[in-house]
Amino acid sequence: MNKSIYSGPVFEMATKQFERVADHLQILEMDRDRLLYPKRAIAVSCPIHRDDGRTEVYQGYRVQHHLTLGPTKGGTRFAPSVDIGEVAALAIWMSWKCALAGLPYGGAKGGITVDPYSLSPRELQALSRRYMQEMIPFVGPHTDVMAPDMGTNEQIMAWFMDTYSMYQGQTINEIVTGKPISTGGTLGRREATGRGVAYLVGRALEHLGIAAGNATAIVQGFGNVGSVTAYSLAERGVKIVGVSDHTAAYYDPAGLDVGELQRHIAERGRFSGFSAQSLIDPSELLVRTCDVLVPAAIEQVITGDNASQLKCRILAEGANGPTTPEADSILDQRGGEIFVLPDILCNSGGVIVSYFEWVQDLQRLFWEEAEVFDRLHRILERSFQQTIARARRDRISHRMAAMAIGVSVVQSAKRTRGLFP
């Protein structure tokens, strides 16, 4: 097995996590590669005309992890960090996440190595359409369904859907999720991940006997996931004391006004310049005192270097892969001091409501918002209960428990279907 194309820190992290779970589940060595390594990885070159007349080529990827349970499903990331190893790791995490939630999907992920903030709206549209056009032979509503992730949004999903549909000669809404309502999106998708995070934080606070009205939270990243999480936590009475984006970090123990923060972002597109008074060094944000710490930006921010300094009661992983295996070992050593809501549970609201969107698009039958959130909460509640029960039963961390459930679902389906031919 040629493992080298994926090598890199994020893929190594996903591998290490999988090995730990595979040891716990006593999965045979000969079955491990089949569970871990992606079924397909696609790399494409996407040329576009820049506004200044130059032609520039961007590298794009799509990784489909396994096809055992149904089509693959996963977001598309536009970021300078994107490489095939990162995309593969994110696809693998998507698989365990979908399986934990009981969704009929394998995991996928895609991305383009680009700073989306460096493109004009016209360039961004050209790149998005070209990426989807290059992917047409490999995706489809019953093969692989895309969604937003870091650096992409509803508008980009609409361009993806339109490009795919123009090539098919008919409108095929179900090729992507996370679309605007006007193009077959579902009510609640935009808020789903953040509201899911807030719901699970609410359950963790109850579990620990902390009243939401007495709790404080720090949120790293203020995009789709971070901003909605902050807003939803504030609605539940939690005081937001710290926030950051890629340009600045702020901390104020008296509380920050989430409405003001959102207005600033809407006007300026970034946090820098918000408040000189509460400005702090971004590296300090995660180790400031709070009840709930929500990393909601990038991978590998809680590491062997800072895990022992975290001063939170709940670590709610809005981002994918924010905590390294070295940090996990430290958190394990700290015993039950920090209640971890692992990423594949904590941010699963996004893919769950994406699944609802796909189902509604296929059926051409659209639900009320209350139905979307009622169904979402039921699935999150079940996953939350199953994760804590498994952790307690096997005396393992919440991450190990959530992954053990997800990996077992995929393993069992593979075993039952058998190996073709």
Task: Assess 300 for contact with ligand NAD (CB under 6 A).
Answer: no
Task: Assess 222 for contact with ligand NAD (CB under 6 A).
Answer: yes
Nearest distance from C-beta of residue 418 to ligand NAD, angstroms: 32
Q: Which stretch binds ligand NAD (CB under 6 A): 23-31, 149-157, 168-176, 387-395?
A: 149-157
Instruction: Name the closest residue to ligand NAD (Cβ).
Output: 223
Q: Which of 16, 39, 73, 109 is catalytic?
A: 109
User: Which residues ranging from 379 to 408 are in contact with ligand NAD (CB under 6 A)?
Assistant: none
Task: Assess 69 for contact with ligand NAD (CB under 6 A).
Answer: no
Task: Assess 223 for contact with ligand NAD (CB under 6 A).
Answer: yes
Task: Assess 13 for contact with ligand NAD (CB under 6 A).
Answer: no
Q: Which residue's CB is nearer to ligand NAD, number 15 or number 227?
A: 227
Say if residue 209 is exposed, middle or buried (CB neighbours under 10 Å; 0-12, 13-18, 19+).
Answer: exposed
Q: Choose which of 319, 379, 404, 410 interacts with ligand NAD (CB under 6 A).
A: 319
Distances (CA, A) of 322 to 111, 165, 295, 303, 342: 18, 35, 7, 8, 9
Q: Which residue's CB is nearer to ligand NAD, number 27 or number 105?
A: 105
Task: Assess 149 for contact with ligand NAD (CB under 6 A).
Answer: yes
Q: Backbone dihedral region of 135: left (phi > 0), alpha (psi from -120 to 50 degrees) or beta?
A: alpha
Beta bridge partners of 40: 64
Task: Assess 196 for contact with ligand NAD (CB under 6 A).
Answer: no
Q: Which residue's CB is nearer to ligand NAD, number 119 or number 225?
A: 225
Task: Assess 320 for contact with ligand NAD (CB under 6 A).
Answer: yes
Helix 224-235 × helix 258-268 angle, to 10°: 160
- Nearest CA to 156 out of 124, 184, 182, 185 is that of 124
- Nearest CA to 308 out of 339, 330, 338 is that of 330
Separation between Cα atoms, residue 274 and residue 177, nearest integer Å = 33
Q: Which stretch binds ligand NAD (CB under 6 A): 38-46, 179-187, 232-240, 296-304?
A: 296-304
CA-derived radius of gyration, the chain: 20
Q: How many residues contact ligand NAD, by CB under 6 A?
A: 24
Q: Which residue's CB is nearer to ligand NAD, number 60 or number 221?
A: 221
Q: Choose which of 91, 240, 298, 330 interacts with ligand NAD (CB under 6 A).
A: 298
- Nearest CA to 319 out of 19, 89, 112 is that of 89
Separation between Cα atoms, residue 19 and residue 23, nearest integer Å = 6
Q: Which stretch binds ligand NAD (CB under 6 A): 158-166, 240-248, 273-281, 331-339?
A: 240-248
> Does the active-site annotation cover 109?
yes
Nearest distance from C-beta of residue 335 to ligand NAD, angstroms: 27
HSE-up of residue 40 (Cα within 13 Å, Cβ side) = 18
Q: Annotated catalytic sites, by residue?
A: 109
Binding residues vs ligand NAD (CB under 6 A)? 148-151, 193, 220-226, 244-246, 282, 296-298, 318-320, 347, 350
